[in-house]
Structure 1
Amino acid sequence: MTVNRRPTGKHHGDLRNALEQAALALVAERGPHGFTLAEACRRAGVSVSAPYKHFADRDALLASLALKGYEEQQRRYRAATATSTDPAEQLAAYAAAYVRFAAQERALFDITFLAGLDKGRHEELARAGAALHDQLLPVARAVVPDREAALDLLIRISAAAHGLSLFLQQNMLPRGRDTLAAVEDQAARTAYALIDQQTQTSGRRRAGPGRQR
């Protein structure tokens, strides 16, 4: 997912997009904390006063990009879960798509999850995160109908995929397991393992306290 770029390099007719494009490039180079709003202006080729027509400060600019990150995730996860009607396969596909998003859209991933944006101030980000949750929780409940158990399952699958994404980014994986394809596969296999574990645990709970654990 990329922000549209004006081919002429003249940004005044599309100032918001020009600033977002510049910020994405700077985040890709330096991380979400490594640049100022003035640097984004210089990269976009506009005056330092220009962004205030659209963004109150640097965090507002990053929040706009984080929202695009959430929207791109929602699109990708919807496409991933649409590849099967089996809920376990859907969750495994979601885990693989999570890793793929983090690798292919690293700047957006870093902005969305590592910029430290205040969701109390930027409530649209909280709503976007809730929309992702609302999209995926029914899939988890098709595996384990109990809402709390399903939520626990979804959180654990997401946490595993997130951790694997960071391991890949930071070159923390053994040789042979450090490719995007290998990490996608690892995320999917981890999802299946967590699903098996959760369904077995839920089955024991439904059987009552008299069943051996």
Structure 2
Amino acid sequence: MARKGYHHGNLKEALIKATIALIEDKGPTGFTMAEAAKAANVSAAAPYRHFSGRDEIIEEIARQGFEIFADLMEYAHRKSQPSALAAFEATGRAYLAFARKYPGHYIAMFESGVKITANPDLTAVANRAMNVLTQAAEDLCKHLPSDKRPPATMISQHIWAMSHGVVELFARGEPGARSPFSPEDLLESGMGVYLRGLGVIEK
């Protein structure tokens, strides 16, 4: 008897969807391929038609996540033009919004141990997201004299790290539930202190 849960040609996406739910519920290492197959309502052998194992499914989920993430970053940056500061701040908020809306993808991207540089497609799409933030930093620093202009890549990496820290500590359950400040307020104030310290914006 044919199994239900996916239509012909939709097996790959059914497995990905089921695995995302398992990642959100059990973490990236808390389930087996057999459990992913069961969650997708397919045979234990079915996942191997598309993936060599759990790590490869997680890698594909990470790639899809970076595609979504880069699209959100680009949209946030574009819609906040022509204000360079507003565009820069919007990319930070987009980071928080993505982590909230796509927790399974976020975990696959940043908490699964997936080796981004080992996969050219994954590397390219991850770089696309970082490049949006770097471009926003370049735009923000254009008014500074060249000898006083901090490297845009350094700024983008610092803000990426700050955004990631806010997500991990305050935007994904505990201990965030105990924070008297919203993740958005924490990130915005942190960005302001950082940019003022560099002289990028006025004190």
TM bucket (normalised to shorter chain) is 0.7 to 0.9
**Please, which of 124, 138, 141 is the counterpart of residue 141 of structure 1?**
138
Q: 1:98-137 counterparts in 2 under 5 A?
A: 98-137=95-134
> 1:133: Cα distance to partner?
2.0
Residue of structure 2 equivalent to 1:172: 175
Residue of structure 2 equivalent to 1:160: 162
Task: State percent identity of aligned pairs.
Answer: 27
> Aligned equivalents of 1:73 and 1:136: distance in 2?
12
Equivalent residue of 1:126, what SS?
A: helix
Question: What count of residue pairs does the alignment treat as equivalent?
Answer: 191
**Please, which of 65, 73, 88 is the counterpart of residue 77 of structure 1?**
73
The TM-score with structure 1 as length reference comes to 0.81
Residue of structure 1 equivalent to 2:11: 15
> Aligned equivalents of 2:193 and 2:37: distance in 1?
47
Structure 2 portions without partners, runs of 5+: none
Deviations 1:70-109 (A, max 9, x none): 0111111112112322222111111111111112211111
Q: 1:183-194 counterparts in 2 under 5 A?
A: 183-194=183-194
- Change in Cα spacing, 1:32 to 1:11, as seen in structure 2 (3 Å) is farther
CA RMSD, Structure 1 to Structure 2 (Å): 2.2
Q: 1:55-74 counterparts in 2 under 5 A?
A: 55-74=51-70
Structure 1 portions without partners, runs of 5+: 1-7, 202-213
- Change in Cα spacing, 1:200 to 1:139, as seen in structure 2 (3 Å) is closer
The TM-score with structure 2 as length reference comes to 0.85
After TM superposition, where is structure 1 displaced by more than 4 Å over at least 4 residues in a row? 145-148
**AA at the equivalent of 2:12:** R
- Change in Cα spacing, 1:116 to 1:175, as seen in structure 2 (3 Å) is closer
Conserved? CA contact 1:69–1:108, under 8 Å:
yes
